[in-house]
A and B are shown apart, each in its own frame.
Chain A
Amino acid sequence: QEQLAESGGGLVKPGGSLRLSCTTSGFKFIDYYINWIRQAPGKGLEWLSYISPTGNAVFYADSVKGRFTISRDNAKNSVYLQMNSLKVEDTAVYYCARELRPYYEFLTGYHVWGQGTLVSVSS
């Protein structure tokens, strides 16, 4: 069964750092881009970042560029999101997600999602 599972969320003070992990199983990890998306309480979805299968292509939303860094370890089938200089407005549930088809086929939306991990930024 194809699965993604986020971990590493928690309560952090403004200006602090947190590292989220997205652990995957049940599919060929190196064939897929992985994305991070977040959802602030009561708000809509916000796409944050993606990383290519080899890790040599990454992209960020303007809201997190320069503060967040995405990386992956293909040996551990995992993707990470290092979050620095956290702000109150970064409070959200953070999801990792994968496309329906592998990178060498056509692009699709995100078919496999984790359950999310809550990040709370508060003093």
Chain B
Amino acid sequence: IVLTQSPGTLSLSPGERATLSCRASQTITSNYLAWYQQKPGQAPRLLIYGASDRAPGIADRFSGSGSGTDFTLTISRLDPEDFAVYYCQQYGSSPRTFGQGTKVEIK
């Protein structure tokens, strides 16, 4: 399954709302879609699994939605620490696959 993320880069200011998209080439089994945040020099951090469930310790400004082939990660109000690269991943089919990433940068 090929995952296509858009946009490639999102330029926003702190406090603004971020909407990131992930589109799959075929239906993702059981909505097994995860979102990760990665900062330079760090391992990815799981934000969302099952398309909409927040991982432990993740702030409620992060939310996931969608089903089938279209999924969205929303950050309701960007905090300075949220500027990073975000990846979606499907884990319902093998091989597991990641999207190419969306960079959220400070405007």
| CB within 8 Å of B: which A100-120 residues | 100, 106-111, 113-116
Q: Are A47's CB and B43's CB within 8 A?
A: no
Question: Which residues of A have CB within 8 Å of B35?
Answer: 109
Task: Give the complex CA separation of A75 and B43 in angstroms.
Answer: 27
Task: Give the complex CA separation of A97 and B56 in angstroms.
Answer: 16
Question: Which residues of A have CB within 8 Å of B56?
Answer: 100, 111
- Count A-B pairs with CB separation below 8 Å: 69
Total interface residues in chain A, CB < 8 Å:
24
Question: Which residues of B have CB within 8 Å of A106?
Answer: 50
Q: Are A109's CB and B46's CB within 8 A?
A: yes
A88 within 8 A of B: no
Task: Give the complex CA separation of A109 and B55 in angstroms.
Answer: 9
Question: Which residues of B have CB within 8 Å of A44?
Answer: 87, 98-101
Contact with A along B35-46 (1 / 0, CB 8 A): 110100001111
Q: Which residues of A contact B (CB under 8 A)?
A: 35, 37, 44-47, 50, 59-62, 95, 97, 100, 106-111, 113-116
- With A107-B32, A107-B91, A108-B55 given, can you name 13 additional A-B contacts, CB distance below 8 Å? A44-B87, A44-B98, A44-B99, A47-B98, A59-B94, A97-B43, A100-B46, A109-B35, A109-B36, A109-B91, A111-B46, A113-B43, A113-B45
Q: Which residues of B contact A (CB under 8 A)?
A: 30, 32, 34-36, 38, 43-46, 48-50, 53, 55-56, 87, 89, 91-92, 94-101
